[in-house]
Amino acid sequence: MPTAASPARIAFADGTVLRGRSVGAQGTVGGEAVFNTGMTGYQEVLSDPSYRGQIVTMTYPEIGNYGINPDDMESEKIQAAGFVMRQCCDVPSNFRSVESLSAFLIRSGIVAIDGVDTRAITRKLRVGGAMNAVLSSDESKSDADLVALAKNQPSMAGLDLASDVGTKKPYEWTEASVAATFGSLIPGGALPRLTRQPHVVAIDFGIKRNILRLLVACGFKVTVVPAGHPAKDILALKPDGLFLSNGPGDPAAVTGGIATVKELVKTDLPLFGICLGHQILSLAYGASTYKLKFGHRGVNHPIKRVSDGAVEIASHNHGFAVDPKTLPAGVRMSHVNLNDNTCAGIEHEQKPQFSVQYHPEAGPGPADPLYLFSRFREDIWKRLK
C-alpha cells in the first residue's frame, strides 16, 4: 500500500513540475497529458484502449472509493500510460470490489500519483491545450531531467496507435450485455423473426468490450477482425452489417484502416461507427480531421440531434474531430456537440451508413444514445426481410 513517504512527480513540457504521492508502480512514463471530468468510471477509463499513450488526470477529487472488479474492464488490461488524482482512496467500500485502485495500478505496472492540484492541471490543459508530460517516482532524476523527457515525447498528431492496440487475428464475441435492460434498446417492440442470425463484422481499432456486448444483445453474431484486415477478406465473411470501433491516436494516420473502409462504403451494407470509427468513416468519404485543443473526455457532454433538435447526454473520449465543412455531397452532419459546436455524428443520405463521435454504449447514467444500436439493428433487419 502506498504511503506519504512514497514521492512522485509529474513534469510537463512547459516546465511545470508538481509533487505528490506515488500510488502506483515505481518507474517513469511519458505521454500526452489529458483530463477526464467523470465522477465515476475510473476503471473503464483506465482499461479503454482509446487512452493508449495518454496520462489521464481525473478532475473529480476522490478516485477509487468503490474499488476494482473484473466485470468493469473494457479490455484485458490497463491501457492508459499513467494516472493522476487529487486523492486516491486507499480503503474502498463496495460489495463488488476485489481490490483497491492502488493495488490494481501496482499489479498492472502503471505509474500513478495523487496529492497534486488536479484543478491546476485541468486549467493548464484547457488554457494551453493538451501537452506532453512525464510521470515518475524515480528520485534519481532531477526536475530538469523529467521536463526534458516530457519535451521529447512524440506528438499524438500523426501517431497511429490503432493498428497495434486491437486484436491480431479474427475471433467471435458471444457475451451479451445487461445494459440492454436499462432504456429501450428496441423502441416499438421486437423486430420480426428471421430465418438466420444476422452477422456483423466489427473492425477492431481498439474496441471496448461493452460495445461488443451490446452488439450481441442486438441479436447479432459478432466477428471481430484486426484494424488492418483487407476489405476483400471482410466481405468474404459474408457480413450483414459492418461496425467500426473506437480507438486511440490520430485517425488520419490509420491509413490501412481508411483504405479498407473506402472499399467497404462502396457496398450497400449497413455500417455503424463510433469515435475513431466515426473519424475513419469520414476520412474514407474524403473529409478531413483535426486535433482539438484539449479534447472531449467525460460522461456528461450534451449532443443535439440535427434532425429533430433532441438533446442526449453522452460519454466522450477523443482528441480529434471531423471538419463538417469537408464532408462530401451526399453525407451530412447528424449530431453536434453543444459545448463547442463540433461535429458529433454523420450519416449517408442514401445508404444505411452512420457514425457518432461519442460513446453510446458507455451508459454514464442515462441511456439516451442506445437508440443508435437499435437503428443499426433495424437497418440490418430491413435488408434481410
Beta carbons within 8 Å of 306's beta carbon, 6+ residues apart: 332, 333, 334, 335, 336
The residue annotated as part of the active site, out of 296, 301, 335, 359, is 359
How far is residue 91's CA from residue 242's CA, in Å, rounded to a whole number?
A: 44
Distance CA 28, CA 48 (A): 21
Yes or no: say if 275 and 317 are a contact pair by the CB < 8 Å rule: yes
Write down the catalytic residue from 88, 89, 275, 343: 275
Q: Which of 151, 181, 201 is the last residue of a domain?
A: 151
Q: What is the pTM of this model?
A: 0.94
Q: Are residues 64 and 101 in the same domain?
A: yes
Query: Is residue 192 domain-shared with residue 291, that is, in the same domain?
Result: yes
Q: Pick from 372, 379, 296, 366: which is nearest to 335 by CA?
A: 372
What does the alpha-carbon distance between residue 217 and residue 370 come to, in Å, rounded to a whole number? 12
The span from the first CA to the last CA of the chain, in angstroms, equals 59
Asked if 101 and 19 sit in the same domain, the reply is: yes
For the question of residue 347 being annotated catalytic, the response is no
Residues in the chain: 385
Q: Are residues 175 and 110 in the same domain?
A: no
pLDDT tens, residue order, the chain (385 aa): 555 569 999 999 999 999 999 999 999 999 999 999 999 999 999 999 999 999 999 999 999 999 999 999 999 999 999 999 999 999 999 999 999 999 999 999 999 999 999 999 999 999 999 999 999 999 999 999 999 999 999 999 999 999 889 999 999 999 887 644 544 455 545 666 777 899 999 999 999 999 999 999 888 999 999 998 999 999 999 999 999 999 999 999 999 999 999 999 999 999 999 999 999 999 999 999 999 999 999 988 999 999 999 999 889 999 999 999 999 999 999 999 999 999 999 999 999 999 999 998 866 556 778 889 989 999 998 888 7
Q: What are the grid coordinates assigned to 175, written together?
A: 457475451
2 occurs within a structural domain: no
Could you tell me if 254 and 361 lie in one domain? yes
Identify the three-state secondary structure at position 365: coil
CATH number at residue 121: 3.50.30.20
Predicted local distance difference test score (pLDDT) of residue 180 = 46
Clarify whether residues 56 and 195 are in a common domain.
no
Residue that has been written with the C-alpha cell 488554457 in this structure: 127
The number of helices, as runs of H, and strands, as runs of E, in the chain is 10, 19
Claim to verify: residue 250 and residue 131 sit in the same structural domain: no
The pLDDT of residue 232? 97
Could you tell me the sign of the dihedral formed by the alpha carbons of 78, 83, 86, 87, in that order?
positive
Residue at 352 is within a domain: yes
Domain that holds residue 207: 162-384
275 is known as an active-site residue: yes
Give the residue from 117, 151, 185 where a domain finishes.
151
C-alpha cell at position 167: 486484436
Q: Are residues 119 and 204 in the same domain?
A: no
Cβ atoms within 10 Å of 310's Cβ, excluding its own: 12
Structurally, the chain folds into a number of domains equal to 2
Residues 355 and 249 grouped into a single domain: yes
Parallel/antiparallel/unpaired status of strands 289-305 and 221-226: unpaired
Residue 163, pLDDT score: 87
Backbone angles phi, psi at 22, to 5 degrees: -75, 125
SS3 203: strand
Q: Which amino acid is at 196?
A: R
Judgement on whether residues 333 and 371 belong to the same structural domain of the protein: yes
